[in-house]
Chain A
Amino acid sequence: MAAGVLTRVKQALRGPRLAAAVFSCHGQTLSSAAAAVHSPAAPTIETDATDKILNFPLTQPDYFRLSELFSIKDLFDARVHLGHKKGCRHALMEPYLFGCRLDMDIIDLEQTVDHLQQALNFTAHVAFRGGVVLFVSRRRQFAHLVETTARDCGEYAHTRYWKGGLLTNAPVQYSPGVRLPDLIVFLSTLNNVFQEHVGIRDAAKMNIPTVGIVDSNCNPSLITYPVPGNDDTPAAMEMYCRLFKMTIKRAKDKRRQMELLKGI
């Protein structure tokens, strides 16, 4: 399981150059896309075709057409708008709430749609550029679902106990030169005792961007792309898993297609 979390030998062939390119585009929004990309650490020759493959998608607001994957109605039917009771509410989640009905918080789906669009778009770009995505969730009810999702899209998952230095002490715990994930997707940001998952803080320490589904009792602070939504109902979790899987598959297929065209 520990070996399955991080590098596999054939995945290491993706190369440090691509990892550097991904790190160089961390934290940049799509509107400043034109400024992205000549990664300063890469000494190799970049042909025009490779430049086009890497640069052109960043100039489009929705290059992978992810807005057609979901709509407000789909989110509503999957019960994404249902939050916890008022007493469980986290103060920092108040801007994302539509209101409170009979003590039950309702999450504003108009905002969720925008956040989810941004999060999926970022995931797609990371996968397009050959980044490693790690799915994390400590909900035991959905552990199997998350693991099968990760396996189906060729990425990684960690749904067990998170050891202390997994990211921060990786060269010692695994081996020197181990490759860390380029994106961590938290399908539930709490651990089993309703505290914030340690991985959020550790990813922020290691400059790894995070996407996180934050419910009304979660802290959205350190997460790069928070997506306010329900993380307790099986219908909602299945929907998120399906969306992330489709996004990553689309991005990888697009990359393969463009490489084939470049080869021609």
Chain B
Amino acid sequence: MVRFKHRYLLCEVVSDDPRCRLSLEDRVLGGLIRDTIARVHGTFGAASCSIGFAVRYLNAYTGIVLLRCRKEFYQLVCSALPFITYLENKGHRYPCFLNTLHVGGTIRTCQKFLIRYNRRQLLILLQNCTDEAEREAIQKSVTRSCLLEERSDEEELSDNGGEEEAAEAME
């Protein structure tokens, strides 16, 4: 079968500043990554990576980004991600870095990984939380996610978004 194969990079934007994640926009981030690839890999890198490049999914609450690139050049993109040191939006510069969580061949495998990763993150949040009200809210989210897991093997990303929003809103 002849088709264009892609690699989907699941990354997390980590920053000290809480305003950094909220100012995430797909076009701004896409432009920033393209500029970084042009700087690190030159004209050749910029041209080869930008053909199939797209920001597929962006979650401003958790800072999760899903990038798509062609399979032949995904290593160029992967190697350029550590060179991103700041995010610029409306004249404000926030220092941050991109953590690559998973590289998958399809969106579905990245989604499955993200679901498992978020469950683990909820448990870690439960361990680290200090407030009683927070603790109850997170425990509710955890039990809800376990129930959903029993009901169906595949969860929708929207359900996940609800849990994350609840967890993040509590922080």
To the question of whether A and B form a pair in one complex, the answer is no
**Which residue numbers of A lie inside 8 Å of B, CB to CB?**
none
**Which residue numbers of B lie inside 8 Å of A, CB to CB?**
none
